[in-house]
Structure 1
Amino acid sequence: GDKADDLLDTIWEYSPQFKEAGISAERMMGMFAAGADKAFNFDKLGDAFKEGFGIRLNKALDENALGSLEEIFGEKKLFDMLDQIKAGGKE
């Protein structure tokens, strides 16, 4: 159920971040359902995703960081790793 009457607000606010990460609406809702028993409200779940994936990852992957990572891993391996991150899952 809607724990704090915030589910629709949370979907509206955070769905762009999930979409940008390549996560479907069905998977997003599955993540909300899986985390609902651990969080006070759905907004906390959305915010955790936004902070963890969107903001921190985007900061980490600015041009300087990408250049440094490319030197370490090589272009192909770097983009393979980025594709794995975008795909999600335990890898």
Structure 2
Amino acid sequence: MQGATFIITNMGASDIEYFTPILNLGETGILGVGALSHEVIMESGNVKQVARIPLSLTFDHQILDGAGAADFLKVLAKYIENPYLLIL
């Protein structure tokens, strides 16, 4: 791929849960999407099954600092967990 500044790579389709995506020269960031899993958690004293999808972000520290990257992941997680917010 040429001319891209941000890449999304999906290893989840190959049942890879966690991985570290490698940033290529000239790219600002790369988001790695891992395999979907289901886990049982306790929430407010109740047992609940939740879906989990691991995300890994690699970014160029010369362009973006860690706080900005963390904010990006928080906002992304909010929209993944609540997709209806995209249409409001």
TM-score normalized with structure 2 length: 0.30
TM-score (norm 1): 0.29
More strand by share: 2
Higher RCO (Cα < 8 Å, 6 or more apart): 1
